[in-house]
Structure 1
């Protein structure tokens, strides 16, 4: 029901690209079917490592040397869609969870708009 209402609104507004950030819900088949290959998400890890809600804290707890930011298409899995772009973030010995979160967010705020601009430019070039 929820997705059907969203889909109806998106059709009324002639939406052709869905860009998510912090949506924190699993996208169901109603939207996936209509927007396959046209839904983009940002995730705070180097997918396929650390998918799901707690990418930053999971990477920090795993004591890995690096993590990062991934921009990907949404599919029917959890953070499993085709990767569009990634940027690595080194986890330093002195990093805290809070400092790592700040580093990740800084990269997100740069990478997402740059990547979206490239995708839109490429789509316009194909028309």
Structure 2
């Protein structure tokens, strides 16, 4: 089975590839770097960055928890780009003729690329949030903190479509938490949990085991969070809720309206 990966270029994305390579052979990797717009920051943006410092530091520490050698990257990295929908990526990916494409951390794949890849392969996508309830970005864990929806901190593996985290579901899981985590520990746990369920899904596919294919619309309309809406107010709320409400009791509280998709059974489970 031929597997290619379309990923971002951050340590957590390479950490995922390293883990996947332990259970399957990845033929090639395409990395997508964020475009550097070089725009001067306004006073408001600078203030927002200062407010977000605890969250930013936690994210950076999480990234540093993944260390991948340049030697490993050199073995599988084939294309580096600023746009996953470039002609270069399209031609390369189609010529690779993969059986499975795994996606994580790229910009949104366009309909043309998805259409061409789908002719020969299945496309899996990892979302670090629980779809359909928490979709979008820039960081769904932080949105859960802001909304005090600790019970929705978790991850999703889906069959990719051209929407924002809207593909049919393979597995959704709540991240196991104690409520005693620091911000850094929280982000590390969420990311490692995301990798764990992605590897389960990939391993099942490689072994020709049946996987779920559940429309999100059959579960809930959910909510799409946009990066442009992540502002000082939401940052303050997320930090306030984390420091004053994030606890064992609130993290483990059940919600009968939340439906999780289990990778190991054809039946959904409410928790």
TM-score class normalised by the smaller sequence: 0.7 to 0.9
Which protein shows a greater Rg? 2
Q: Shift in Å at residue 63 of structure 1?
A: 0.7
Aligned to 1:85: 171
Aligned to 2:33: none
Aligned to 1:59: 144
Verify: 1:17 aligned to 2:100, yes or no.
yes
Deviates more, 1:12-21 or 1:33-42: 33-42
CA distance in 1: counterparts of 2:179 and 2:148, whole angstroms: 9
Deviations 1:37-64 (A, max 9, x none): 7211111111112211221111121111
Q: Shift in Å at residue 75 of structure 1?
A: 0.8
Query: Which stretches in structure 2 are left out of the alignment for 5+ residues?
Result: 1-82, 210-271
Q: Are the structure 2 counterparts of residues 90 and 14 from structure 1 closer, same or farther at C-alpha, using a change threshold of 3 Å?
A: closer
* 1:26–1:78 Cα contact (<8 Å) kept: yes
TM-score if structure 2 supplies the norm length? Answer: 0.41
1:32 aligned counterpart, secondary structure: helix
How many residues in Structure 1 have an aligned counterpart in Structure 2? Answer: 122
Aligned to 1:72: 158
TM-score if structure 1 supplies the norm length? Answer: 0.81
2:86 aligned counterpart, secondary structure: helix
**For the aligned residues, what is the CA RMSD?**
2.2
Q: Are the structure 2 counterparts of residues 107 and 93 from structure 1 closer, same or farther at C-alpha, using a change threshold of 3 Å?
A: closer
* 1:60–1:97 Cα contact (<8 Å) kept: no
Query: Which stretches in structure 1 are left out of the alignment for 5+ residues?
Result: none
CA distance in 2: counterparts of 1:48 and 1:110, whole angstroms: 20
Verify: 1:115 aligned to 2:213, yes or no.
no
